Structure formats: structure tokens, C-alpha cells
Structure 1
Amino acid sequence: MSSSKTSRRGIERGLYKSLAPAFAWQEKDQGYQEKGRCAQDVHGERKESERRRGGRTPIEIRAASAREGRGKGETKGVIPGGFLRKVLIALKKKENVEKIAGELLSDIAGVLFLEDIEDGVEDVEVLVLFQWRGVIGEGLIGRLRSLKFIQALTAGVNHLPFEEIPENVLVASNSGANAGYIAEHAFALMLAAAKRLFLHDRLLRKGEFRQDIFSKPLRGSVLGILGLGSIGRRILELGRSFGMKVYAVRKSGKPEAGAEFVGTPDDLPYVLREADYLVIALPLTRHTEGLIGERELSLMKRDAVLVNVSRGKIIDQEALYRHLLSNREFTACLDVWWNYPRAEESFRQDFPFEKLPNVIMTPHIAPLVPGYFENMLRHALENVRTFLLWDSPANIVDRKDYVP
């Protein structure tokens, strides 16, 4: 290894160590633990943070410190002898994917793609994946004998077969990657329901100019949030900007700035009764599946608005359909579903929600904005980099939430 590369990697590791206290935070909530550096949103928080630092990135700050003789050391990303540790990205090689992987990992890891798996994967330590089914089989996972860390590209990891993953392998979600976009979509649905936008649009198209149908205000109303992870906190921020009072439920019950009330799951009935608007922002686990059923819906106000941007199976499908059928003032806004059509199949659930006037539906598009995939990949690979450099990645999930 050249002395210049050794110096560069030593400088970078020292930089991360020197900046760690500024970025470190720890939160155990919703069945996962987040620790280490908080990976910042590529299009928002990171730019703002850099602006406050005078436009300098952490690397530039650390490089300046190095010139003053601080922060020497080697990076953990390199195995003694100069061989890079290996990362398998379970995606096909594409220019945008290779570019981001090169930017974030090329100096500390050797990167393989699906096309490369025949070249030998026995020494791969990190697996990055978008989906398991149809991509990762028992044959491949059995060959990854050196595997230490799995990084999902998705915020939810309920699609992973934890029973097939060795217990010594850490698994991380990609929580936070598109939290801002999903929170925006939740509010788009909420506002559409509150202001009766689709109803007025339909009436006007029929020539009916109705001004006798009142809308619901957001200001002064109670916004209930189930889950205060990255999405839930963004929803809280938006709710406060609309002048809403926020009541939330999180696993720990830990208070959150800006919320009037934060309780544990035992306080769910109280939040359901008080909420004018309820947003579900929980991961789907064996503890949250079917969380909202007939009893829980019966506790909510007759004209409440329920928004789900998390996972469909957190709500009992039949219970919700029957509640909507018998309570026409109640509105459900759904971006996530119980059944997903395969290619060329029609959208269809077990119950005909599409025939109900008090349902607003979107096809799981909350995070889909230009550049969303690149943002998601970059966020995930930043966490992989953190693992390789520090052995302290964020968003580690508790496998007990997914298997007994």
C-alpha cells in the first residue's frame, strides 16, 4: 500500500473519530437501535449542516486539522496486508449504482455486484440488498461464510427471512433515507381528506358548485402519531408547523420535543380517542401486525382521519373496511396495502376499498420523487461505510421483533 493512501485513510479515520461526538446519537425505539453517526439527508440536512460550517465538508475540516498534525491512524476498512474488505451489493451493475458505490466505498472496500457472485463471495463481509425473494437464496447465503453485516435499502425489513440469517450477523434498516418525502405524502393525504379536495373536484366536474360542505381545520386539532422514528419525527415537525397538537406513541415512551404527549403502547387507547388525525409510522413487526383492529377503530372519533404510510398489515383489513362502511364520516388515507399486484395483475384487495367514497388511495408512492433511489442507496452505503470504519452502524434492528 502506498504511503499516500495510508496517510489518506489514516486522516479520514481520525476525522471520523474527531467528529463522532458532534454526530453521535442513540435512540432505542420501534424495535430497532440507532447509534453512532446520524447519516444526514443528502438533499436537506447535510447541505444545511455544510452551510453552517462555511461550506466545508467533514473531510475538508479533518484534512485541515491533519495539516496541523492531529489525527493519525489506520482505517478499519483495510485488512492487514493491504487487502480491501468485500461488500456485495445485490443489484445489477448500473452506472448510477457503480458511481455512488465508488464514491463511498472504493477507498475502503472491494465492491461486488450480482454479476460478480461467481467470482467468489466466501470473504464478503457486507451484503447490501433491496429485496430477498428471488435474489438471495439459501445457496448464496450459505456461501457468505464471512458475512457480518446486512444493510437493507428499504426502511422496513419485514421482508427478510431472519430465520435464515445467522444470529451473529447484524441487520440494519435504511430508516431515514426518504423520511422527508414520506412525511410530505402523509400530509398531502391528510390535507386532501381535511379539505374534501376529491369530493369538490368530482362535484365541480358534474357542474355542482357546492359551498355548503365544510372542511376540517388542522390548526388546533390533535395529530396522533404511532411511531417516532425518522418518519414520525418529520411528521411531528410538519404537524407543529400547521399549529397542531401532537400526541404520540413510541415503544420507550420517551418524551419528544414538540409533542404535548408521548406514551408507551399501553397509552394507545388514549391517543386513539384524542386524535382528530392519526398517522401510522411504525415498522411492521410481529408486535405491530394487526395492531389497529375493530376495538381500536371503535375508540377513534367518528370523523377522524386515519393515514397509513407504513405497512398495510399493521391494520386489520376487514376491520377497517367494515368501519369505513358503517361510519361514512370516518376517512382512511392509504398509501400501503395488504396485497400487491405482480406485473400485469390488477390492483385488488380482499375487500373493495376502491368502491368506498371515504377512502383516499395511492399506490405506495410516498417516497417516489426524482433521485429517490440514488438517495436511498447513498444513505445505505454511508451506513456501510460507518460499519467498515467504526463497527458502529446506525439502524440496527432487533431480530426478536421479527422472530419469536
Structure 2
Amino acid sequence: MTKPYVYITRKLDEASLTPLKEVAHIEMWLSEDEPCPREELEKQAAKADALLTMLSDQVDEALLSKAPHVQVIANLAVGYDNIDLKAAEKRNITICHTPDVLTESTADLAFALLMASARRIVEASEWVKEGHWTGWGPLLLAGADVHHKTLGIVGMGSIGTALAKRAAGFDMKVLYHNRSRKPETEAQLGVTYAAFEELLTQSDFVVCLTPLTPETKDMFNEKAFDLMKNSAYLINVSRGQTVDEDALYEAVTTGKIAGAGLDVFRQEPVSPSHPLTTLPNVTVLPHIGSASVETRKMMMRLCAENIALVLQGQQAKTPVCSS
């Protein structure tokens, strides 16, 4: 009997795909860093029974209309805004993602980006490497304290909860804003719910962890930055489209806020000439929120397990929508 055919849009760790190798024939795009071209993806989707995709792959109506045999698509991310869910549901295609396994690593990165922004760590490292360290001054590259400050978390899901736990170690007061209140989380962690506007006015660090929805698109705009303290920092590790980048640039350059730490941009990869990348008080990263070796391998394995289960007629472990 012929095994189902699975196409993977990046080169992944072979060992992490073991659950899938046992039940399917696998082919991968040969590059780990370069995305699979759209033309190649369409060609492979036309004959595939399943796809393992990246967040950078657009899985839309046009692609799915050319993929008559696809039963399941596993996205190597917790987010899935690159996938047209309605088009998938119409064709009874199961869509899976990788929640939970990346929670702790992403929270680590979010707090690291907060620390790097506040204490000017990247700027200081470059200062030394470029040969500027010729002496010492009492305020040389002085940044902002993190301990005992107020952290505002926008989007109190599992990553937000993990971030709040880290903030407790720094004796931070934690406010959060979410679509719905989390009484259990409030009781367990001592965090306080706040309206979005109130959170902005009170927080020293605002961390965006919300998914991208019509409601959250451009939520960090000129009005939002006008409400923030001029000593505050915005940290975004969710989706670039939640931030109006022109408004952020204006807020940072005019002193409305102190700076920002960005792991995501509206257009990725971001151009090195992008206005925000030119600012010393904006720390930028290439969308590496979950990028530890251990976590990425767990994400790969979860994708493989999800596809293998569906191809064998079983329920996926982490479906977004099921056939």
C-alpha cells in the first residue's frame, strides 16, 4: 500500500520527524533559511496528503483550491494567521498548530527583550565592539531599572502568565489586559486586571502578547503612545501588525516613550533601512520568540505527531479546526 505523501516547506531536524516517517513518505524544501517559493509550494500541494508549513507560508484559498488531497496542515507556530481557516474548513482540512510547547521559551525571550531594552544591553555591546569604550563615566550607557517597576501585559494567555511569573522574581507590579478576566490567574499570581487605557498610563513596560485579530490590529497607535509614560518601553513579541510602526517611530523619536523592543514587524524580514532599525533605543530581533533548539525540536515533533495521527484517522493533539 502506498504511503501518504507529506511535504514540508523547510528543512527540519530529521529525528524530530520520526513519528511521521513511520506512516508517510516525506519530502522537504532543501533550505532551512530560505522559504519555499510559492510556485514550488503549489506544485507540491497538488499531490500532497498533508503539509507541514511555516508562519511565512501563505495557505490561502488559491493554494487550497489546488490541493485536492490534503487532509491536514500542521503549522510550525502557535499562531495561524497565515492560514485561511474558512477555506480549510470548507474542504474538511484539519489545521494544527504548536501551542504550549513554546510557552516558556517565548516568555524567556520576552523578558530578555525587556531587559535588553531597559538596560541598553545591545547598544552597550556594540559600543564596546566598535571601540568607543575609552573611559568610564557615572552615567555611561545608563538605562532604566526593571525591579519594582510596573509591567503591563496585553494578552494574558499562557505566555502572558509565564511572563508574569518571571516578573514576580523582579518584584514587579503586574497589570494585564485581556478579552476576558482571569480570576484564577489573579489569585495565583497577584496580577491585576486593567482596562487597556489604564494599563498604558500606569505601566513602565508594556508587553504585547495578543494574537492578531481585527480588534488587535494597530491597537498600538498614536493614541496609545500618547497615553504611555515618556519613560515607558513597548515590547512586542506577538505580531507586527498589532503596532502602527509609523506612530511608534514618531513616539520614540519625539520622546513620547523611552524606547521599544521588537521581535516582530509588519513586513518580515524587515529591511535594515527600516526607520525603526536605525534608532539606538529600539532593540530589534528577527522573530525568534520560541527559538531555542530544544523548543523548536519539540514544535517539529508535535507537528509530525499531529499529521501522523490525522493520516491514521485519529484526532490531532492540537487542532485549530478539525475535519
Please indicate, yes or no, whether the TM-score normalized by the shorter chain is above 0.5. yes
Q: 2:73 aligns with which of 131, 144, 150?
A: 150
Give the Cα–Cα distance (whole angstroms) in 1 for the partners of residues 28 and 116 of structure 2. 42
What does residue 150 of structure 2 align with? 222
The answer to whether structure 1 residue 211 and structure 2 residue 138 are counterparts is: yes
Give the Cα–Cα distance (whole angstroms) in 1 for the partners of residues 245 and 321 of structure 2. 26
Give the Cα–Cα distance (whole angstroms) in 1 for the partners of residues 243 and 45 of structure 2. 44
The answer to whether structure 1 residue 181 and structure 2 residue 105 are counterparts is: yes
The structure, 1 or 2, with the larger RCO (C-alpha pairs under 8 Å, 6+ apart) is 2
Give the Cα–Cα distance (whole angstroms) in 2 for the partners of residues 111 and 260 of structure 1. 48
SS at match of 1:188: helix
1:4-403 pair list within 5 angstroms? 86=4, 88-91=6-9, 96-97=13-14, 99-102=15-18, 104-105=19-20, 109-113=23-27, 121=47, 124=49, 126-130=50-54, 133=57, 138=62, 141-145=65-69, 147=71, 149-162=72-85, 164-167=87-90, 168-198=92-122, 202=127, 205-212=132-139, 215-255=143-183, 256=185, 257-262=188-193, 267-327=195-255, 330-341=258-269, 346-349=271-274, 352-371=275-294, 373-384=296-307, 391=315, 393-394=317-318, 396=320
**Equivalent residues of 2:45, 2:66 under 8 A apart:** no
| Aligned-residue offset at 1:88 | 2.4
SS at match of 1:307: strand
Q: Which amino acid aligns with 1:394?
A: T
Larger Rg: 1
Q: Which amino acid aligns with 1:160?
A: I
**Equivalent residues of 1:175, 1:395 under 8 A apart:** no
Report Cα offsets for 1:90-117 as digits up to 9, x if no partner: 34676x33x3333x2456x4344359x8
| Aligned-residue offset at 1:298 | 1.2
**Equivalent residues of 2:152, 2:176 under 8 A apart:** yes
What does residue 20 of structure 1 align with? none
**Equivalent residues of 2:60, 2:84 under 8 A apart:** no
Matched-pair identity in %: 24
Give the Cα–Cα distance (whole angstroms) in 1 for the partners of residues 240 and 56 of structure 2. 19
SS at match of 1:192: helix
Query: Structure 1 length as normaliser, TM-score?
Result: 0.63
**Equivalent residues of 1:236, 1:259 under 8 A apart:** no
Q: Which amino acid aligns with 1:295?
A: K
Give the Cα–Cα distance (whole angstroms) in 2 for the partners of residues 143 and 361 of structure 1. 37
SS at match of 1:165: helix
**Equivalent residues of 1:272, 1:278 under 8 A apart:** yes
Closer, same or farther: CA 169–137 of 1 in aligned 2, 3 Å = closer
**Equivalent residues of 2:58, 2:83 under 8 A apart:** no
Q: Which amino acid aligns with 1:211?
A: P
Give the Cα–Cα distance (whole angstroms) in 2 for the partners of residues 199 and 225 of structure 1. 25
Closer, same or farther: CA 131–270 of 1 in aligned 2, 3 Å = closer
Q: Which amino acid aligns with 1:348?
A: S
- Where in structure 1 are there 5+ consecutive unaligned residues? 1-82, 399-404
Report Cα offsets for 1:57-96 as digits up to 9, x if no partner: xxxxxxxxxxxxxxxxxxxxxxxxxx798462434676x3
Report Cα offsets for 1:347-378 as digits up to 9, x if no partner: 233xx223323212222233333355423201
**Number of residues paired by the alignment?**
300
Q: Which amino acid aligns with 2:241?
A: K
Give the Cα–Cα distance (whole angstroms) in 1 for the partners of residues 199 and 2 of structure 2. 51
Report Cα offsets for 1:25-72 as digits up to 9, x if no partner: xxxxxxxxxxxxxxxxxxxxxxxxxxxxxxxxxxxxxxxxxxxxxxxx
Give the Cα–Cα distance (whole angstroms) in 1 for the partners of residues 212 and 79 of structure 2. 7
**Equivalent residues of 1:280, 1:310 under 8 A apart:** yes
Report Cα offsets for 1:126-145 as digits up to 9, x if no partner: 43222574898846654434
Closer, same or farther: CA 157–134 of 1 in aligned 2, 3 Å = closer
Query: Structure 2 length as normaliser, TM-score?
Result: 0.77
Closer, same or farther: CA 235–211 of 1 in aligned 2, 3 Å = same
